[in-house]
C-alpha cells in the first residue's frame, strides 16, 4: 500500500460494517443516534456507527437468550467447524482487516496485519478446544451409584474490549465463548469499533445462528450498565483499566455474575549483569514501543543492574532514536500515533512529572515537530528515575521507558513487585538459575525470559493483584465460559 494512503481511503476500500449486528441483521440505532470514529493521524472523522438505544440493548439481550438455547445444543464438532471457517476467512482477508484496523487506531500496517493473524489464531485454537470440553466419571462409595461431572456453557456473555487491539482482544473473548456453547454480545471499543464489527460480519458469513453473536456500539458506560442489570447475562469478560474494571465488578456483583478481568499492568524488565546487552537493548526498544507502548503487557519499567546500566542505556537510547514515527500507512513507520488526545496528554503529564522530580530525558520527550495533526508522541527514554515519580507507579500506556538501577537480585525483585499491578514481567539473563528464580519470585501472571512478545493463542494470558483474574488463551481460556454440573445416579436393585 502506498505511503500516501489515508484512513479515509482505506475505509472506502475495505468497506467495513458501520452498523450494529442484532439478531442476525445489520441495524442502525432505533433512535438514529450515532457516534463518530476519528482517525488519530488526521484527527478527522472517517466513519460513524450507531449509538445503541436502551431498546437496541434490550433487543440484543433477548436475541442472546434465544441464541444461547440454540447454540448450546449444536454439537461441539459443528461449533468447531464454524470457528475454523472464521479463522480461515480472517486469515484470507488479513490485508482488508488490517487496513481497517490501522485506519481507526493508527498502528503501523505491518503490526495491524500481525494482529489480524493473531486474531485468526484465536478462532483456530478454539476450534480445537471446542471438542475438548471434558467431563469425568468418579467412582462412588457404593456400586449402585454413578457419579458424573459435566462441563456446560455458562450462558450469554457480555464482552468488552479496548481500542489498543480492537480485533485481537475481542477475538480472545468471542472465540472461547462460542467454543464453549455460549452466545455473546460484543461491545467493541467506541474509539475503534470497526474491527469488532468485522468479526460479527465473519460470524454472519459462516452461518452462525441469529442471536448467537451480537455486536452493539455506542456509549460503553450506558451499554454496560444495562447489559449487566439484565438476568440474561451470566458472564462478563472485560479488558481495560482498573477503575472501569472495578465499576463493572460492582455491577456484576449485584447480579451474581461470573467475571474475568484483565485490568492492565506496569511490567518490570529486569536486566541482570550477565545479560546479552546488545540483544536486550534491541529487543527492549522494539518491544517497548510496539503499538506506541499502548500494550497492557508492554515493558514499562526498566530495572537494570548498576554494573551494566550505562552500557545498556546507551544502546537502548540508540535503538530508540532509530525508530521512525509516522502514519501507520507509511511503510517506513515504526511507531504510529497514540489512540487519542487524552492519551497523549496523559503521557506528557508523566514525562513532565518525572522531569520535575529530577529525571533526565535521554531520548524523545515531546511531540514530534514534523506533524501538524495527529496524536503523535516521540519514543521517550527517561534516566535518573526514582520511586516517587508517577511513571514508576502509574501505568504509562504510551511510549515512555523509565530506567532505574538495582544492586542485588533481592533489590531488583523488590522494586519489580512494588506496584499494585501484576500482569507481566520480563527477565534478561543468560543464567538458567537466575531465570528460574526471578520468574518464580515476580508477582505476575506471565513472565518472558529474553523476550517481550509472549501473548499467543495456546498459552494462558492474565494477571494477579490489581491486574485482574481469570485467563484468556490456552486450555484455561475455556474455564470461564463453562460451569461444572455434578450428577449422582442411584441405580437401585438393577434390572428386573
Q: What is the CB neighbour count within 10 angstroms for residue 314?
A: 13
Could you give the CA distance from residue 78 to residue 64 in angstroms, rounded to a whole number? 19
- Listed residue (6, 37, 41) closest to 326, CA to CA: 41
Of 104, 115, 129, 262, the active-site residue reads 262
Cα–Cα distance, 336 to 326 (Å, whole number):
5
Catalytic choice (85, 296, 378, 472): 296
Query: What is the model's pLDDT at position 349?
Result: 97
182: annotated active-site residue: no
Crossing angle of helices 194-205 and 76-92, rounded to 10°: 130
The CA–CA distances, whole Å, from 222 to 57, 339, 376, 488 equal: 10, 22, 30, 43
**Average pLDDT, 10 consecutive residues per value, the chain (496 residues):** 70 95 98 97 96 98 98 98 98 98 97 98 98 96 96 98 97 98 98 98 98 97 97 98 95 97 96 96 95 95 98 97 96 96 96 98 96 96 97 96 98 98 98 98 98 95 96 95 97 67
Dihedral sign, CA of 425, 429, 430, 433?
A: negative
Fold of the 267-420+424-449 domain: Aldehyde Dehydrogenase; Chain A, domain 2 (3.40.309)
According to the model, what pLDDT value does residue 3 have?
41
* CATH numeric code, 7-264+467-484: 3.40.605.10
Q: Write out the residue limits of the CATH 3.40.605.10 domain(s) in the chain.
A: 7-264+467-484
Please, are residues 182 and 156 in contact by the beta-carbon 8 Å criterion? yes
Residues 6+ apart with CB under 8 A from 385: 354, 359, 391, 392, 402, 403, 404
405 DSSP β-pair partners: 304
pLDDT the model gives residue 492: 80
Task: Give the residue from 194, 185, 84, 91 showing the smallest Cα distance to 130.
Answer: 84
**What is the per-residue pLDDT for 1?**
40
Residue 494 confidence (pLDDT): 56
Q: Catalytic site residue 296?
A: yes
Residue 253: CB atoms within 10 A of its CB come to 11
Residue 232 is predicted with a pLDDT of 98
Amino acid at each position: 500500500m502506498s505511503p500516501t494512503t489515508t484512513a479515509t481511503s482505506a475505509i472506502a476500500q475495505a468497506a467495513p460494517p458501520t452498523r450494529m449486528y442484532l439478531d442476525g441483521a445489520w441495524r442502525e440505532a432505533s433512535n438514529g443516534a450515532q457516534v463518530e470514529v476519528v482517525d488519530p493521524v488526521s484527527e478527522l472523522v472517517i466513519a460513524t456507527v450507531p449509538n445503541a438505544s436502551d431498546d437496541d440493548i434490550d433487543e440484543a439481550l433477548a436475541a442472546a437468550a434465544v441464541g444461547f438455547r440454540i447454540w448450546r445444543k449444536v454439537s461441539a464438532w459443528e461449533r468447531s467447524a464454524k470457528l475454523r471457517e472464521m479463522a480461515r476467512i480472517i486469515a484470507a482477508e488479513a490485508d482488508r482487516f488490517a487496513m481497517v484496523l490501522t485506519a481507526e487506531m493508527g498502528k503501523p500496517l505491518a503490526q495491524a496485519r500481525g494482529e489480524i493473524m493473531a486474531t485468526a489464531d484465536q478462532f483456530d485454537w478454539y476450534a480445537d478446544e471446542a471438542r475438548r470440553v471434558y467431563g469425568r466419571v468418579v467412582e462412588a462409595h457404593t456400586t449402585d451409584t454413578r457419579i458424573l461431572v459435566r462441563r456446560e456453557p455458562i450462558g450469554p456473555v457480555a464482552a468488552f474490549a479496548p481500542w489498543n487491539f480492537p480485533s485481537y482482544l475481542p477475538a480472545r473473548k468471542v472465540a472461547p465463548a462460542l467454543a464453549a456453547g455460549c452466545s455473546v454480545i460484543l461491545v467493541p471499543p467506541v474509539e475503534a469499533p470497526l474491527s469488532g464489527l468485522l468479526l460479527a460480519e465473519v460470524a454472519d458469513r459462516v452461518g452462525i445462528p441469529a442471536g448467537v453473536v451480537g455486536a452493539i456500539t455506542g456509549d460503553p458506560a450506558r451499554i454496560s450498565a444495562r447489559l449487566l442489570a439484565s438476568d440474561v447475562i451470566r458472564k462478563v469478560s472485560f479488558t481495560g483499566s482498573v477503575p472501569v474494571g472495578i465499576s463493572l465488578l460492582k455491577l456484576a456483583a449485584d447480579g451474581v455474575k461470573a467475571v474475568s478481568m484483565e485490568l492492565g499492568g506496569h511490567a518490570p524488565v529486569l536486566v541482570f549483569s550477565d545479560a546479552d546487552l546488545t540483544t536486550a537493548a534491541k529487543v527492549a526498544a522494539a518491544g517497548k514501543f510496539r503499538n506506541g507502548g499502548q500494550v497492557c503487557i508492554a515493558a514499562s519499567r526498566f530495572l537494570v543492574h548498576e554494573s551494566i546500566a550505562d552500557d545498556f542505556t546507551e544502546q537502548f537510547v540508540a535503538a530508540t532514536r532509530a525508530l521512525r514515527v509516522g502514519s501507520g500507512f507509511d511503510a517506513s513507520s515504526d511507531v504510529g500515533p497514540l489512540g487519542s488526545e487524552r492519551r497523549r496528554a496523559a503521557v506528557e503529564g508523566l514525562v513532565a512529572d518525572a522531569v520535575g522530580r529530577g529525571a533526565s530525558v535521554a531520548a524523545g520527550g515531546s511531540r514530534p515537530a514534523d506533524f501538524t495533526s495527529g496524536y503523535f508522541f516521540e519514543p521517550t527514554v527517561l534516566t535518573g528515575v526514582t520511586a516517587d515519580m508517577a511513571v514508576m507507579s502509574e501505568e504509562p500506556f504510551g511510549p515512555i521507558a523509565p530506567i532505574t538501577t538495582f544492586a542485588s537480585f533481592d533489590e531488583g525483585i523488590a522494586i519489580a513487585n512494588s506496584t499494585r499491578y501484576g500482569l507481566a514481567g520480563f527477565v534478561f539473563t543468560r543464567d538458567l538459575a537466575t531465570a528460574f528464580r526471578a520468574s518464580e519470585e515476580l508477582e505476575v501472571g506471565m513472565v518472558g525470559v529474553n523476550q517481550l512478545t509472549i501473548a499467543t493463542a495456546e498459552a494462558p494470558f492474565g494477571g494477579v493483584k490489581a491486574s485482574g483474574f481469570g485467563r484468556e488463551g490456552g486450555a484455561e481460556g475455556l474455564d470461564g465460559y463453562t460451569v461444572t454440573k455434578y450428577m449422582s445416579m442411584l441405580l437401585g436393585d438393577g434390572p428386573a
